[in-house]
Amino acid sequence: MIRLPAITALVLGLCVAPAFAQESPDALVKRVAEDVLTTIRSDKDIQAGDIAKIRQVMEVKLVPNFDFVRMTALAMGRNWRTATPEQQKQLTDDFRTLLVRTYAGALSNYRDNTMDYKPLRMNPADTEVVVRTEVKRSGQAPVQIDYSMEKTPEGWKAYDVVVAGVSLVTTYRDEFNDTVKSSGVDGLMKALTNKNRGPAPPPPVK
Amino acid sequence: MTRCAALRVCMTLLASACLLLAGCAATPSRIDPLEPWNRAMFSVHEVVDGNVVKPVAQAYVKYTPEPVRSGVANFFGNIEDLFVGINNVLEGNGNRAGDDFGRVLLNTTFGLGGIFDLASMMGIEKHNQDFGITFGKWGIDQGPYLFVPLFGPTTVRDGTGTVVRAFLGPITYIVTDVPVRNVIYGIGYLNQRAQALDTEGVVDTAAIDKYRFIRNAYLRARRFQVYDGKPPPEQDDEGQ
């Protein structure tokens, strides 16, 4: 499902996965977020507003930590079962692209902010947890960002992000439901493809 | 003849039933009964904002040095903190209100009229609070969703809160010189619009239907605030 360049997959598979196999979900969120933020802050191209470069960083550092199949299934709700396996795969790929594009834009906005990680209360047997974080912005109230995480054989993966009480999956469930209702699963696939083909978000003016 | 009339009545009924059904398909949901009107207002907003307000806000961000913009944001934020505190009192959050009034006191004096947010630097956190949230906590229903051009998403309840807030000034009462007051209002509006630029860029990339996306995100975020970050699960049959 996740098509990483072979070399990245190899590197990730050989070095990263064993090292972090036992990593707790909150430690994972913190490591990945700090890693991405550090890269965004230090990279000259990204500072200059190079969205393609941000997306590349995300592909390598963020994408492997999300379960896009589950995210797509949740966002589709009851419509997921009416889609064929081919449609499901296509929808997952398109939704993943859309999320990566969206996140690339959002992350470049967050580069001047600091993250605050809330302590996680969990039992060792838990397979689903919510990791809570906060973005501190100067002169504005902090924004709460929660990650819903699940335990998988490849470690913990996020399947929803809730920003200031707005769940990504639920917001897209409304989008997907309405679109499927008016133009069917095919219509939704077309809408997603068109959306992804649209112009990349403009670099933030700063 | 009678049969023909009966048939005609039948046909008319059937036709109106079809119309009704078609109407229903496009008919807005419970949360957005004014959807056709709101969508029209949203289109108006997109044209006016996209051609006038947004370019001005972008120019403001581009040509004004960051320290100046941050001073402007802090100045207006400091005034807002006063009302955040008042709303926390109305909601019975004494401790939070104490923080809010402490912020105003500190920033107005040592922060030179609110231009510097010393309170945040000292770890006194800023809160989100307004009359719409207070009304919500008092149990007042949000009412229909509204999209107001040049203002954005709101509801009858939240919009009422905004009107109440506008009546309380205090710039209206402190600055009596009308042109100066208008300039201050203008800068305040620009400051708000500029702060929304980043989020708007994200919505542009994320949304299949921008109107719907903004509405749903707005209503959820407000619900979250009214329930103090712990909203009860939504009634929704689509979940897995």
Q: Is the pLDDT of residue A203 over 60?
A: no
Contacts 24+ apart (CB under 8 A), B49-53: B49/B149, B49/B150, B53/B150, B53/B193
Phi and psi torsions of A115, nearest 5°:
-105, 145
Instruction: Tell me the per-residue pLDDT of B50-98, one tens digit each, with 9 for 90 and over.
Output: 999 999 999 999 999 989 999 999 999 999 999 999 999 999 999 999 9
- Which candidate from A105, A165, A192 shows the least CB-CB separation from B229? A165
Say what the pLDDT of residue B2 is: 46
Q: Poorest-confidence range of A2-16, A47-61, A105-119? A: A2-16
ipTM of the complex model: 0.76
pLDDT bucket at B20, cuts 50 / 70 / 90? very low
Q: Is the pLDDT of residue A113 over 90?
A: no
Which of the residues B129, B208, B212, B222 would you substitute to probe the A interface, choosing the one with the greatest number of A C-beta atoms within 10 Å? B208
Say what the pLDDT of residue B198 is: 81
Say what the pLDDT of residue B28 is: 54
Residue A200 distance to chain B (closest CA, Å): 8
Say what the pLDDT of residue A12 is: 43
Residue A6 distance to chain B (closest CA, Å): 28
Say what the pLDDT of residue A115 is: 86
Contacts of A102 in chain B (CB under 8 A): 202, 205-206
**Model confidence, pTM:** 0.80
The domain in which residue A60 lies consists of 6-197
Strand A114-117 relative to strand A128-137, pairing: antiparallel
The 3-state secondary structure of B70-136 reads HHHHHHHHHHHHHHHHHHHHHCCCHHHHHHHHHHHHHHHHCCCCCCCCHHHHCCCCCCCCCHHHHHH
Q: Poorest-confidence range of A30-39, B12-21, B62-71, B134-143? A: B12-21
Instruction: Tell me the per-residue pLDDT of B184-205, one tens digit each, with 9 for 90 and over.
Output: 999 999 999 998 888 888 888 8
Contacts of B125 in chain A (CB under 8 A): 141-142
Residue A108 distance to chain B (closest CA, Å): 9
Phi and psi torsions of A199, nearest 5°:
-65, 145
Chain A 107-146, CB below 8 Å of chain B: which residues?
Answer: 109, 138-142, 144
Contacts of B199 in chain A (CB under 8 A): 109
* Contact between chains at A174 and B61 (C-beta distance less than 8 A): no
Q: How many domains does chain A have?
A: 1
Does residue A97 belong to any structural domain of this protein? yes
DSSP state of A48: T
Question: What residue segments make up the domains of chain B, in order of their start?
Answer: 64-226
pLDDT bucket at B123, cuts 50 / 70 / 90? confident
A179: contact with B, CB 8 A cutoff: yes
In contact, B57 and B194? CB cutoff 8 Å: yes
pLDDT bucket at A200, cuts 50 / 70 / 90? low
Residue A204 distance to chain B (closest CA, Å): 7
CATH of the domain at A103: 3.10.450.710
Does residue A135 belong to any structural domain of this protein? yes
* Contact between chains at B208 and A138 (C-beta distance less than 8 A): no
- Which candidate from B205, B223, B234 shows the least CB-CB separation from A105? B205
Sign of CA dihedral B60, B84, A140, B76: positive
Q: Is the pLDDT of residue B25 over 70?
A: no
Cα separation, B231 vs B222, in Å, equals 10
